[in-house]
Amino acid sequence: MLIEIAIVTDVDGDTLWVQTRRQSTCGACSARKACGHGMLDSLRDGQAHRLQVFAADGELFKAGDVVRLELPESVLLRASLLTYLFPLLMMLSATLFAGGLLQLPTFWVVLAAFVGLGAGFLILRRFAAGARRSYTPVAYHSEQDAPAVVTVSGG
């Protein structure tokens, strides 16, 4: 379970704006000197990150509430696989179709690969908009542990 502590900064009906602090684990990593993430995190460490959160029970929250956002690792893994794998599979399929079945020249096969990649990203974007509820973390008030279902989107 991935857990993040956030502070509610604004409540508007069923929409919450929460603010989190970015915490890097690079200090404990043995490869931090050779890793690009460590250098980037040192530039952004400690900065606040603001998220828009949709809550089914928005009236349970008020500005200043400390909440705990929870997301199962399996949800993150599925989202990562879809995000990275699906566009590549679409690209590979378009390439095999154009080069293998249609026997097109190389220029058209490369063009089909890029069209397949772009189509994969567009289909993924439409799927993600409709499947937002299946990738839903749970927010708990830190002091009373009363659950309220929320959906996170970047903001």
In this predicted model, which residue has the larger pLDDT, 85 or 23?
A: 85
pLDDT digits (tens, 9 = 90+) for 87-141: 999 999 999 999 999 999 999 999 999 999 999 999 998 888 777 656 656 566 6
How far apart CA 44 and CA 147 sit, in angstroms, is 31
As a whole number, the mean pLDDT across the chain is: 78
pLDDT for 45 beyond 70:
no
* Token pair listed for 11: 């409540």
Mean of pLDDT values over 41-58: 67
Q: Where are the domains of the chain?
A: 2-154
Task: Work out the percent of the chain whose per-residue pLDDT is above 90.
Answer: 27
Lowest mean pLDDT among 17-26, 98-107, 135-144, 145-154: 145-154
- pTM of the complete model beyond 0.75: no
Mean of pLDDT values over 42-52: 66
The pLDDT assigned to 155 comes to 42
How far apart CA 155 and CA 153 sit, in angstroms, is 6
How far apart CA 25 and CA 41 sit, in angstroms, is 9
